[in-house]
Structure 1
């Protein structure tokens, strides 16, 4: 009996409110969704709020989203996270709803995403060129999300090189934050000895060394970032230098901060909360990506670069779920990420069988439903990138297989 790995991409056509309860609890590590933005057109997922008298569009949208977000929380692992794209139309309502369902304490970030650098020129008012990405943990204390990336690390920030060619920069060993001082971090205020000519640093006196105490630029006492034991463990990563400060020359100690491109995963840099189009792509690049695979059949897909950045925050074997799959960008990005780094991510995409708009490019191209677009893209991705594709029958209330469980053949 041979055990085959699960396909990178699995697809289910149907209403996500039917599919989500059928998934095993805790079976997903990462959820990304790009739900309908409630911008004036009726959204397909109306559920039982169609007959609610006097319900505003905002109330109707929240009523549509709440049970889906609750169901998504049930299938999310305790260590997992959910990312939700939204625009100004429902951003405030979504933030309150996410606080209600996931807990305000589990908010990780509200990211601004610059998806339209030129700005929308139609209509009155400002040329909006951003959307939002709300990020919540299932449990912030246990979440494994790493809010960093290697993409924004610039080698030019590391201008120095060691004998072996490894690049580094100098960072002050003293803590530059005045909140940390001899009164608040007493054990980190101590003298070290350094040779400003040879550069050596030790915690005990040696020939040619001078005593160095941590001080701020204005001469007031500071503290080191490293403890005595850590300095003793890594003396070669420190250097003593004479520098010119505002009060004249003084001797100080610096850390050699290595680029470390040769380590697994490479050096990473903390993600900021504004993501620019040149970093993650734009609506224009997303349209071009989809056009290359299927043609111009979807008006506002998300760029794979956006999803790739999200995927970088989670382990390379993450089980991914997108239950508003749209054109299939999430599954496409999962395949690209696995092909690039050898990961074993899997993605379950769910999309409704909502009919495509009469006279639209999608309908004219032969796609009768939005699900047809998702299916076609994921199949094309499997052919081009690899990883396989499987379509599951519409899920019932009985639990579905775990998206990561291998199948026997």
Structure 2
């Protein structure tokens, strides 16, 4: 209601995420992001080795990791809205086991994408084998039929996609008005097979004959009848967005009709996201370290770049309720604040992190951060101070 205070953009809870998730209301979040331990066998700011938890060897290590992550996935599913989605970062060590676990918890039919994320464009040069330059992002819907995630982004629309320039300075590209899918034809869509009139000299298109116009009917490349993508009423409404052209094809010259697809249509434009996200688009581990260093110093070895989270946030409504229950250095909360500043959105983020001790001798420990949660809290406080939006610190 008008006059009511808006919630803080960011909230933080210190505690074991499984315990904290149990206290949250069902269906109270629209997007969950998880960046769990990858089970690499390395220790950075926190333990990332499940070897000793259940048995010895690779099989026991994987089983221990799955026993750790699966209850947390189930808890996340409980707090996701029916229209919500979850994204989990992982690398080659556990991606196969994670996908099977997520299939069990969310359902194989709710997999939206397995994205390859190019966070290390130079590739890891240490060790044997290939120079790994990527990890993964597994994205699942709570219910794919109801999910509001829009797998597109305005930021991926580039000027080079629209190489033509209209007289008024607007950029556009030409798209065939003919439907190129052969499932749509005069038998399956009879109302979309009709005659248009066009002048390839002036480019004008109309539903009725006019001086200089020739009749144009939609056909496939082999000459069989096709249908238009637009109905008669839509052609009448947007005739100025159509263009008649003389084209040369395998069967010789023909007159055809094209849509002028504008770079900046009313309502804005978005482009479908590919399943490979490049560091030049979303940032890298190096840029993430630099982002964090600017706020707190070099206190976390492998943070995620805010650009990765900004891209995820861009697939959801601008008032999305976001959950990060492996908050690490606090990238998600930082990204929420940046997104809200950029577009005036009302996103909120609950970050959860444990009091896992930082490794003795690590940059974090030397900087005075006794546990990983101290890093998260410090970053979110700095974000609130520098970017606004506030920070609510809750008890677990």
TM class by smaller structure: over 0.9
Determine the structure 2 residue equivalent to 1:392: 394
Q: Which whole-Å deviations, capped at 9, do the CAs of 1:72-101 have from their partners, x for residues lacking one? A: 011101111101001011111111111110
Tell me the alpha carbon deviations over residues 389-409 of structure 1, each in whole angstroms, 9 at most, x when there is no partner: 121011xxxxxxxxxxxxxxx
In structure 2, distance between residues paired with 1:101 and 1:307: 23
Return the match for 2:364 from 362, 367, 370.
362
Question: Cα distance, 1:53 vs. partner?
Answer: 8.8
Q: Point out where structure 1 has 5 or more consecutive residues left out of the alignment.
A: 395-409
Secondary structure in structure 1 of the residue aligned to 2:286: helix
Any idea what SS the aligned residue of 2:339 has?
helix
In the alignment, which of 315, 318, 336 is matched to residue 316 of structure 1? Answer: 318
Per the alignment, residue 94 of structure 1 pairs with 98
Matched, 1:200 2:201: no
SS at match of 1:368: coil
Paired positions, count: 391
Residue by residue, what CA displacement relative to the aligned partner does 1:266-313 show, whole Å, maximum 9, x if unpaired? 311010000001001111111111111111110100000000000000
* CA displacement at 1:367 relative to structure 2: 0.3
Give the drift of 1:46. 9.8
Structure 1 outlier segments of 4+, above 6 Å: 51-55
Q: Tell me what 1:341 maps to.
A: 343
* Of 209, 215, 228, the match for 2:213: 209
The answer (yes or no) to whether the contact 1:46–1:64 under 8 Å persists in 2 is no
2:355 alignment counterpart: 353
Q: What's 2:65 paired with?
A: 61
Query: What CA distance in whole angstroms lies between the structure 1 residues aligned with 2:24 and 2:254?
Result: 64
> Are 1:153 and 1:268, in contact at CA under 8 Å, matched by a contact in 2?
yes
Which residue number corresponds to residue 405 of structure 1? none
Secondary structure of the structure 1 residue equivalent to 2:280: helix
TM-score after normalising by structure 1: 0.90
User: Which of 268, 288, 291 matches 1:289?
Assistant: 291
Matched ranges for 1:5-24 at <5 A = 5-24=6-25
- The answer to which of 227-236 and 107-116 deviates more is 227-236
CA distance in 2, matches of 1:126, 1:321: 34
* Comparing 24-33 and 201-210, the one that deviates more: 201-210
Structure 2 runs not aligned, ≥5 long = none
Give yes or no for the alignment of 1:152 onto 2:153. no
Which residue pairs with 1:104 in the alignment?
A: 108
Is 2:33 aligned against 1:29? Answer: no
Q: Does 1:252 align with 2:256?
A: yes
Cα deviation, 1:5-53, whole Å, max 9, x if unaligned, reads: 1111110000000000111111101101111001114875999x94679
**Partner of residue 300 from structure 2, selected from 298, 322, 340:** 298
The answer on whether the counterparts of 1:148 and 1:269 sit within 8 Å (CA) in structure 2 is: yes
Does the aligned pair in 1 maintain the 2:32–2:87 contact within 8 Å?
yes
> Is 2:80 the counterpart of 1:79?
no
